[in-house]
A and B are shown apart, each in its own frame.
Chain A
Amino acid sequence: MKNRTDAWKLDAFVDGELDLAGQLEMEERLRDDATLRGEVDELRSLREIVRERADRHAAPESLRARMAGVLESRTTPASVPARSSHPRAAPRRWFAWQPWGASLGFAAVLAVALNLAWLQSATQDRLAEDVVASHVRATLGQHLTDVASSDHHTVKPFLSSRLGFSPPVPELQLPGASFLGGRVDYLDGRPVAALVYRQGEHIVDSFVWPGSASDSPPVFAAQRGYRTAHWSRGGMNHWLVSDVNREEFEAIVAALRKADTSP
């Protein structure tokens, strides 16, 4: 029996958290060691049943409502257009929150300097935020795709039939990249196509919808820890978002634009 000095290594292996050398070494060992293989199987079983059966507690509505109330109370009605990108519970004041108002205001003043850099083109920013929010919602929830298929010829008709336009569905030809499928999302006040790719461990969302803008080269930005790029081509608006690093992100944009054969 092998000494169990590296029990944690098995866990890390099962979790895909070993570095490449460690991963290869472990695979090597597993080939020769049935006991170790049994251990790995058990760890995988455990992981599977926990993920499958344990409760994931969703935040109660009451909490959302309170939070909405707090956020509303911090808003000067005149300066803020209503946001309607997702339904929110009716704002309700919750009195216990009130004493926090003063310190929140103070923190907000402190934040002025920090936030000045963010105050750019308002519409583009809002769209970028919505893009990131959609991406985050999709990656957090279990709902990445409405149609899960790596076959572009399955995804394209699915989206076309639901959207009233036919989005280009380019292949992402990069090492480590795969196509997961598509979903219908809601951005810029309309339903849009969201194409979902995986690059390594990261999810890449590509939003596409028709627009009247003439062709424009990609504009890159970093938005709250996510990278975004947007461009127009062939009468389509494109927004790409992911948390991959800059080099990979730029490579993805280039590959998608190359593969997109729209006029």
Chain B
Amino acid sequence: MTEEDDRRRFETLAMPHLDAAYNLARWLTRDAHDAEDVLQEALLRALRYIGGLRGEGARPWLLQIVRHTCWSWIRQNRPAEKVQLDDPDEAWRELPAPAADEPSAIAMRKADRQQINDAIAALPIPYREVLVLRELEELSYGEIARIAEIPIGTVMSRLARARGLMRAALTPTLRPALRTVPRPAQGGAKT
């Protein structure tokens, strides 16, 4: 009876989020086979704990388990990936300033699917995961904080940093960590 109940709950609650779960695992491991392996383990954990899920969003709940499983797996299998995080609170200071004479929006617009994928894949994991959760899964900061088990402030700084790195990667004219002095912008706005 309860097994059946668990099973039904799992089908109703967790299975609809299978694509989101796989997408996260795929982006974190950057490999289809590894993603599948890790996700299987994560889903079994989810199945065990499904009885404890209540009154909260099932998607962040599941993604938290997936994320956790991914990180354990990466720690074990890819110790080289253990990235040195930029100081998250200081990171934004190094964001490239906008090049006023060549709006990077134009260069970015030319980026194709492959370039975008490569740029995301090249992000250090802590930045990659917040970007994927925000842009591809469209989760709120609060949900991302819960999934990644970090404070909302850290979500904000990592997301800003992730986007700064993306912009730098997609606009070759920008030199990361090199701050250009903006000219008086179009429209003569005061800066």
Give the residues in chain B near A43, CB-CB below 8 Å: 163
Query: Are B116 and A35 in contact, CB atoms less than 8 angstroms apart?
Result: no
Query: Are A59 and B18 in contact, CB atoms less than 8 angstroms apart?
Result: yes
Is B72 located at the chain interface by the 8 A CB criterion? Answer: no
Q: Which of B12-64 contact A (CB under 8 A)?
A: 12-13, 15-23, 26-27, 32, 35-36, 39-40, 43-44, 47-59
A62 to B32, CA, bound (A): 12
Is A39 located at the chain interface by the 8 A CB criterion? Answer: yes
A224-B36 in contact given A1-B191, A103-B48 (Cβ < 8 Å): no
Query: Are B136 and A56 in contact, CB atoms less than 8 angstroms apart?
Result: yes
Query: Are B160 and A8 in contact, CB atoms less than 8 angstroms apart?
Result: yes
Q: How many residues of A sit at the interface, in one of the four size bands?
A: 35 or more
Query: Are B104 and A12 in contact, CB atoms less than 8 angstroms apart?
Result: no
**Contact pick for A34, options B27, B44, B187, CB 8 Å:** B187
Query: Are A58 and B58 in contact, CB atoms less than 8 angstroms apart?
Result: no
Is A104 located at the chain interface by the 8 A CB criterion? Answer: yes
List residues of chain B with CB under 8 Å of any chain A CB: 1-13, 15-23, 26-27, 32, 35-36, 39-40, 43-44, 47-59, 92-93, 95, 97-98, 100, 103-105, 108-109, 111-113, 116-117, 120, 131, 134-136, 138, 140-141, 156-157, 159-160, 163-164, 166-167, 170, 181-182, 185-191
What would 11 A/B residue contacts be, using CB atoms closer than 8 Å?
A4-B95, A32-B190, A34-B186, A34-B187, A35-B189, A42-B104, A50-B131, A50-B166, A74-B6, A133-B16, A136-B16
Q: 16 more A-B contacts (CB under 8 A) besides A97-B44, A133-B16?
A: A4-B93, A38-B103, A50-B120, A58-B19, A67-B18, A67-B43, A79-B4, A104-B47, A111-B50, A112-B2, A136-B17, A136-B59, A137-B16, A224-B54, A225-B54, A225-B56
